Amino acid sequence: MRTDFETLFVERLEPHILVVTLNRPDRRNALNTQMGLDMLELFGGFYVDQEDIRCVVLTGAGSKAFCAGGDLKQRNDMTDETWQNQHAVFEKMTLAIMDCPIPIIAAVNGAAFGGGLEMALSADFLYAARSARFAQTETSLGIMPGAGGTQNLPRACGVRRAKEIIFTAEPFTSEQALEWGIVNKVCDDRQLLDEAMATARKIAANAPIAVRQAKKSISMATQTDLRTGYSFEIEAYNRMVPTEDRLEGVRAFNEKRAPNFKGR
């Protein structure tokens, strides 16, 4: 796994936990073409090899912004072709994040506007700093969400609320995001990363194969009918029966000790 990305700061703070920081603080971590390429390479690589990482925490550099959205300075005067080519990178990036088998916690430390909110929504769940602000601003710029916003937002907060957020393009607070089901937890600003890391440790302590299979199965819940989804769950479940981790989990319970999962 590369760690020398131009727009990302990537650090394995603990053996099984990776912190990925959007690192363009001078541009409020706005999403440009290079960041899209960097995110695509990093998260696309995890689809093939998880490198013993069991949880990813995604956050932004500085305290003002998680990600202010697409870099409109770079987009100024773009031709239609160039715009669409850039957006194709963002489309692949979005799919790479959503398809990542490793659980992703978005730790939203400031403004998450436009594509920044969409990036956060592509994670498995969100923690937010109390000062964080959110918005889907695209309709105020003559476009619409194009990085999963019209799909992931209504799945989080419901169709009617998502329509209001997208149609008005109005910002909302972290407390509103919590009330509406977009955010799982609101944290004091200085405690945000600590809170996200504490949850990441809990995830990383569990059997990684079990967590990955559960993530795949949960993702199916909003994409198919109940019976088909349950059939997928059963298939996912049965893949864990012959694993060493399944034996270790039961053995550790009976021996009254913490399990030592190996991901095998």
**Active-site residue (options: 14, 41, 138, 244):** 138
For residue 21, the cross-strand partners are 9, 59
- How many C-beta atoms surround the C-beta of residue 3 within 10 A? 11
Residue 235 is among the residues annotated as catalytic for this protein: no
Phi/psi at 145 (nearest 5 deg)? -55, 135
CA-to-CA distance for 199 and 196, rounded, in angstroms?
A: 5
Are the CB atoms for 110 and 132 separated by under 8 Å?
A: yes
Q: What is the DSSP string of 135-173?
A: E--GGGGT----SSHHHHHHHHH-HHHHHHHHHH---EE
Are the CB atoms for 102 and 50 separated by under 8 Å?
A: yes
CA-to-CA distance for 107 and 92, rounded, in angstroms?
A: 22
Return the closest-CA partner of residue 206 out of 57, 14, 16, 10.
16
Looking at the chain, the number of H-run helices and the number of E-run strands are: 11, 10
Residue 138 is among the residues annotated as catalytic for this protein: yes
Taking the CA atoms of residue 58, residue 60, residue 63 and residue 64 in that order, the dihedral angle to the nearest 10 degrees is: -130
Are the CB atoms for 60 and 67 separated by under 8 Å?
A: yes
Q: Residue 191 has what DSSP assignment?
A: G
**Active-site residue (options: 6, 14, 118, 170):** 118
User: What residues are annotated to the active site?
Assistant: 118, 138
